[in-house]
Chain A
Amino acid sequence: MNFDDTPQEAEFRATARVWIGANAPKQYEDELRKSSLGRTVLKNANILEVAKAWQKKKADAGWACLHWPKEYGGRGASPIERVIWSQEEGPFGQLSRMFIIGHGMCGPTMMAFAREEHKRTYLPPLASGEKVWCQLFSEPAGGSDVAGLRTRAEKDGDDWVINGQKIWTSGAHYSDYGILLTRTDPTVPKHKGLTMFFLDMKSPGVEVRPIKQASGASDFNEVYFTDVRIPDHQRLGEVGDGWNVSLTTLMNERSAIGAAVSTGFPELFEYCSSLMLDDGPAIEDRAVRSKLANWAVKASGLKYTSMRAISALSRGERPGPENSIGKLVAGSMIQDVATYALDLQGAGGVVSGEDAELAGRFQAMLLRAPGTRVEGGTDEIMRNIIAERVLGLPGDIRVDKDVPFNKIPTKGRN
């Protein structure tokens, strides 16, 4: 048992470290390091432009999308090298956030299902960040129940005509392309009538409207489709096989091993270490210490769970199911941590924004936190996944499984 790199890993790490040291946008390092959930901002620069410039620089030097094949703009690196890169990239990895969906989900789906000429055309600019992609799955009628979606695609000559609405589309407002899951046959059971496409987000009939979130910010969008035409050669997979295609996408979403999840704990520990309460330092207070200790072991538990997965990658094995707990644990934890940080501030905790304690770091965290427990699979869906795939418990009883989609009730009560 050890934490040491193999000689090859050490060599890769050294090379990456040298390159990052010479090329990363250091002027933003401090701000990026201090960013936390709900608050990643650069005071004097447009983060989108900084992110794109960093991604392009990485791509030109062969450090973009490390795990992709070289001919599509990647490096053909091993999974463990990808992990080492992200460890070395450190705070600058925050700049990759706007590319996560494109690189983590759209790219792999294109690689698995697009025509060769499309892969060669679209993947390199996706890897280099020159083009940004989004994923259009969720709908008002289908969130956790993605297969309940209603956006229609109807064949018209060599094209498909799209009508409907998507929601919770991250980054649609700055995306150039998207992958789109549609219903092509409403007369068969819901999982069987779906088809996947990719499309140009600038196509006529696509309208993007930002959603104002409960936090006040807008990271997500609604996307409306009115008679949008997509050529049949942009179809991904067979007609009616969209559900299986989407599983490829979603499996890639969950395979980002080693990606550090935010728990809020380092921020809280740092805060409590200097905070004075009415009757002394917070860190001396028995109740504070107990709370901190409980969160400390969750944070370290996640860290070492991820190290176990990385070890499996390092041996060339597939990681076990342990990593599925990360989002579930971190999501509710960061919400609790933020709530507690404000509790420690007493009545003054109600003030948010620049005038607040630590410029409103924990207030911003609190307001953003509910989203982390929903996006990318709700806590409840994550528990179902653990129960079914890890523990082997039966799937939920699905009353709509064998019913034609257009016969499924659409209202809970009248």
Chain B
Amino acid sequence: MNFDFSDDQKQLRDQARKFLAEKCSPKAVRVVLDGKAPYDKELWKGLAEMGFLGVAIPEEFGGAGAGHLELCVIAEEMGRANAPVPFSSTVYLAAEALLIAGSDAQKKKWLPAIASGEAIGTLALFEGKGNPAPKNVKLAAANGVLNGVKKPVADGAIADFAVVAARTGSGGRDSDISLFLVDLKAGGVEVKSLTNLDPTRGQAEITFRDCKAEPLGAAGEGWSILAQVLDRAAVLCAFEQVGGADRALEMGRDYALDRIAFGRQIGSFQAIKHMLADMYVSATLARSNSYYGAWALSTNAAELPEAAAAARISATQAFQHCAKNNIQVHGGMGFTWEFDCHMYYRRANAMALGLGSLSYWEDQLIDRMRKKNAA
């Protein structure tokens, strides 16, 4: 049994960590946090040059052709650094959708552009409140044009193209939904930035008015493609969350060692020690569940739906838990804008919703476990 990353993958992790420590310091993240830039363009360019954007994209489409375990490794480091770039929307959602359902021409057009950092992509699925469900998709597609409003769309304001979920049938069945590919720079769309929990990753409202769109995958196959994309993204996001949770735990630990109160290191009080121990426990559970998700993702195992839901829930809980208690360990200083704690708190809570909320994934997990037991 070798339920671990390989030495090469661990080397890649060290390389990514070193690169991000240099190019993505908290100071750099703050440029985006403070609204001085929509995302870190220099970092995005650097990630492309390092080959990280296309790490799981096959070589024939301009990527490094390494694989999804390598992408998991990079994702963890992106989460640890709280990187203010459209990595998850472009790489986990848009690129994965293209890899699953794109025609050769669509792949040739967009995947090399993603790998080289020239194109930012996203998934336009949600329409206001609600979790992923066919009935929540109202935006209509007819005769190759889209009409409707999507929000929130992650990184929608800076994206060059979007994978759009649209209604092609009238009911709430999976087969009533189809996917479309939209060049957001080609007209027919109106994009508005939305303020959101985590300013280091933008959210937007996109209005489609008789917007020209080309089908992605077969008509009526949209929901089954989406389900696969969401599962794959759930695993990749889980690694970001695990990276964020670990960093928040480290920050809390370091502060508990440095800070003196009542004449001693606050980390010598059991109230603090036990809080940090519990953070370690949830971060460890999340990491192990995510490893299983990585295995299922990289081998295209039949267990992927269940593994993805478990990784998603566990990593969401761990990142939220570690981020909030990191602030608690810091006390009042943790609640200031100057300290970095709130950046992780914001990211943790935004990520907890991005692919559908915790209660949605809890429901999914139980469905999938029942399906497995019935089989």
Q: Which of A's residues lie within 8 Å of B, judged by CB? A: 1-5, 9, 269, 273, 283, 286, 289-290, 292-294, 296-298, 300-305, 307-308, 310-312, 314-315, 322, 325, 328-329, 380, 382-384, 386-388, 390-397
Contacts and interface: CB of A to CB of B under 8 A. Distances in A.
Contacts of B287: 322
A78 to B, nearest CB: 13
Contacts of B281: 325, 328-329, 386
Contacts of A294: 313, 317, 362
A322 B284 contact: yes
B5 interface: yes
Given A390-B280, A396-B268, A314 B2 contact: yes
B285 A312 contact: no
Contacts of B277: 328, 382-384, 386-387, 390-391
A303 B353 CA distance: 27
Contact of B310 (A2, A9, A297, A305): A297
B80 interface: no
7 contacts: A283-B370, A293-B309, A315-B2, A329-B285, A390-B277, A392-B257, A396-B268
B285 A297 contact: yes
Contacts of A303: 288
B294 interface: yes
Which one of A286, A307, A380, A382 has the highest number of Cβ atoms from chain B below 10 Å of its Cβ?
Answer: A307
A239 to B, nearest CB: 33
B285 A305 contact: yes
B289 interface: yes
Contact of B289 (A290, A297, A384, A393): A297
A314 B273 CA distance: 32
Contacts of A9: 1
Nearest to A385: B277
Given A304-B289, A310-B3, A380 B270 contact: yes
B314 A297 contact: yes
Nearest to A384: B273
A292 B280 CA distance: 22
Q: Is the interface of A mostly helix, strand, loop or mixed?
A: helix
Top-10 shortest CB links A-B = A301-B285, A293-B362, A387-B273, A304-B288, A383-B277, A386-B277, A394-B268, A305-B288, A297-B314, A393-B267
Which one of B1, B286, B313 has the highest number of Cβ atoms from chain A below 10 Å of its Cβ?
Answer: B1
B297 to A, nearest CB: 10
Nearest to B282: A301
A382 B369 CA distance: 31
B267 A394 contact: yes
A397 B263 CA distance: 12
Given A297-B289, A329-B281, A393-B256, A387 B274 contact: yes
A346 B272 CA distance: 38
Contacts of B3: 1-3, 304, 307-308, 310-311
B39 to A, nearest CB: 32
Nearest to B279: A391
Interface string B354-375: 0000010111011001100100
Interface string B237-259: 00000000000010001001100
A29 B359 CA distance: 38
B285 A298 contact: yes
Given A1-B298, A300-B292, A311 B1 contact: yes
Contacts of A4: 1-2
Nearest to A313: B1
A294 B321 CA distance: 14
A213 B126 CA distance: 55
B295 interface: yes
Nearest to B366: A289
A304 B307 CA distance: 11
A397 B273 CA distance: 13
B366 A305 contact: no
Contacts of A289: 362-363, 366
A380 to B, nearest CB: 7
Contacts of B365: 293, 296-297
B256 to A, nearest CB: 6
Contact of A391 (B253, B366, B369): B253
A132 to B, nearest CB: 33
Contacts of A273: 370, 373
B265 interface: yes
Nearest to B5: A1
Interface in B271-330: 272-274, 276-278, 280-281, 284-289, 291-292, 294-295, 298, 309-310, 313-314, 317
A392 B267 CA distance: 9
Contact of B291 (A304, A310, A390): A304
Contacts of A310: 1, 3
Given A387-B277, A393-B253, A293 B292 contact: no
Nearest to A2: B2
A49 B359 CA distance: 49
A112 B284 CA distance: 33
A226 B317 CA distance: 54
B18 interface: no
B4 interface: yes
A307 B289 CA distance: 11
A314 B282 CA distance: 25
Contacts of B361: 293
A301 B312 CA distance: 12
B359 A290 contact: yes
B273 A1 contact: no
Which one of A293, A328, A386 has the highest number of Cβ atoms from chain B below 10 Å of its Cβ?
Answer: A293
B206 interface: no
Nearest to B280: A386
Given A293-B309, A322-B284, A387-B277, 11 more contacts: A1-B6, A1-B294, A2-B295, A297-B285, A301-B286, A301-B289, A302-B288, A328-B281, A386-B281, A390-B280, A391-B249
A49 B295 CA distance: 43
Given A2-B295, A386-B280, A392 B253 contact: yes
B69 interface: yes
B229 to A, nearest CB: 21
Contacts of A293: 309, 313, 361-363, 365-366
